Amino acid sequence: MSDEPHVLFEKRGAVGLITLNRPKALNALTHGMCLQMTMQLRAWAAQDDVKVVVVQGSGERAFCAGGDIRSLYESGVNKTPYALNFYRDEYVLNALIKHYPKPYVALINGIVMGGGVGVSVHGSHRVANETTTFAMPETGIGLFPDVGGSYFLPRMDGQIGMYLALTGARLKTVDTLYSGVATHFVPMKDWPALIADLAAGKGVDHVVGRKSDDLPAGFLADHRASIDKIFAHNSVEEILSALDADHTDWSRDTAKTIRSKSPTATKLAFRQVREGAKLDFDDCMKMEWRMVNRVVAGHDFYEGVRATIIDKDGTPKWKPADLSEVSNADIDAYFAPLNNKELVL
């Protein structure tokens, strides 16, 4: 096992530089990484010589592929407090980034999913390069698109956020810019110069530039009309019926994808996106904390992780196994107050 720290901190001129440093694990977040980042960000917020924070991932494959799902699985199976401690402190970190008093620049190289989205998309500047790949695939492991997905997904144009929440679709660079996941594009070869310019005290907006207005059309633009029409329906079942009636390769593939996910998680994600549209950021995080407490105490998350990364058989046995078996009352229970265990931000 490497003794290398899982997250590195460096002051480089005017920059506070964070490097997620688990390249073999695609820089997946651990509880300790969340705590260390929170402590360092709070310290830098109070230091006048730190003008901007930059966060990057080590290695060439990923910015951050999410939380360390295997550790969360093992915690739940063994009934330890690690999983809920992780989620609580991860959400606190997400809120700190959202409200950070200084520019926060995420350099999104390669894969960014789940927990990696939470430590990038809430920053003031999200810089994509030609390798960026985004997804929120949580419903495929019996979870829901958390880390503030309740807030940023419904605030995407049209019904893009609902489409992403229910399908876990992967977006390449052009579509991360189209959807607003990324705010800027800078080729990877220019990133060292970008960091050097920020370290020298040059203004963030000047250094990162502006995303091009003449981007080529991507997948989302090509399917935008259908996404906005179909995913505006009032339930998962209505969305699936509309997809079935569309009779295109895209609609057939999309319906098949949604039906492969956890029925409970799919209905949770639908409710989450609709509710999050009406809430401010902190209330979204408090809602997600209520939800994740119930997910950790349930079945589908562990079954989804088992089928995906433990046994890798790709055949999760969801309970309930069909959308028709998941009632509104079942979903309501995930959103119920936790009394003295509510999230404190």
Of 90, 146, 197, 303, catalytic: 146
Whether 145 maps to a domain, the answer reads: yes
Question: Would 2 be classed as within a structural domain?
Answer: no
Q: Residue 167 is encoded by which pair of tokens?
A: 């399908």
Q: Which of 68, 138, 288, 303 is catalytic?
A: 138
Place of tokens 């050097």: 196
Q: Residue 244: what residue type?
A: D
Give the sheet arrangement for strand 62-64, strand by strand: 62-64, 111-113, 133-135
Per the CB < 8 A criterion, the answer to whether 289 and 308 are in contact is no
In tens, the pLDDT along 84-143 reads: 999 999 999 999 999 999 999 999 999 999 999 999 999 999 999 999 999 999 999 999
DSSP letters along 8-38, please?
Answer: EEEEETTEEEEEE--GGGTT-B-HHHHHHHH
**Catalytic residue from among 57, 110, 114, 115:** 115
Q: What is the pLDDT of residues 325-341, one digit of tens each?
A: 999 999 999 999 999 99
Asked if residue 1 is part of any domain, the answer here is no
288 is catalytic: no
263 upstream amide cis, omega within 30 of 0 = no
Q: How does residue 1 score in pLDDT terms, banded at 50, 70 and 90?
A: very low
138 in catalytic set: yes
Mean pLDDT of 146-175: 98
CATH of the domain at 197: 3.90.226.10
pLDDT of residue 231: 98
Per-residue pLDDT of 40-91, as tens digits, reads 999 999 999 999 999 999 999 999 999 999 999 999 999 999 999 999 999 9
Helix axes 160-167, 263-276, angle to 10 degrees: 160
pTM of the model: 0.96
**Is 325 a residue of the active site?**
no
Q: Which of 13, 67, 142, 276 is catalytic?
A: 67
- pLDDT at residue 209, as a whole number: 84
Is residue 32 over pLDDT 60? yes
pLDDT tens figures, 200-252: 999 999 999 865 556 678 999 999 999 999 999 999 999 999 999 999 999 99
Which single residue is written with the structure tokens 């705590």? Answer: 35
**253-312 confidence digits (pLDDT tens):** 999 999 999 999 999 999 999 999 999 999 999 999 999 999 999 999 999 999 999 999
Which pLDDT score is estimated for 217?
80
- Please check whether residue 60 lies inside any domain of the structure: yes
Structural domain of residue 227, as residue ranges?
7-341
Counting the structural domains of the chain, the total is 1
Whether 130 is catalytic: no
- Average model confidence (pLDDT) across the chain: 96
Q: Which amino acid is at 213?
A: D
DSSP 139-200: GGGT----TTHHHHSTTSSTTHHHHHHHH---B-HHHHHHHTS-SEE--GGGHHHHHHHHHT
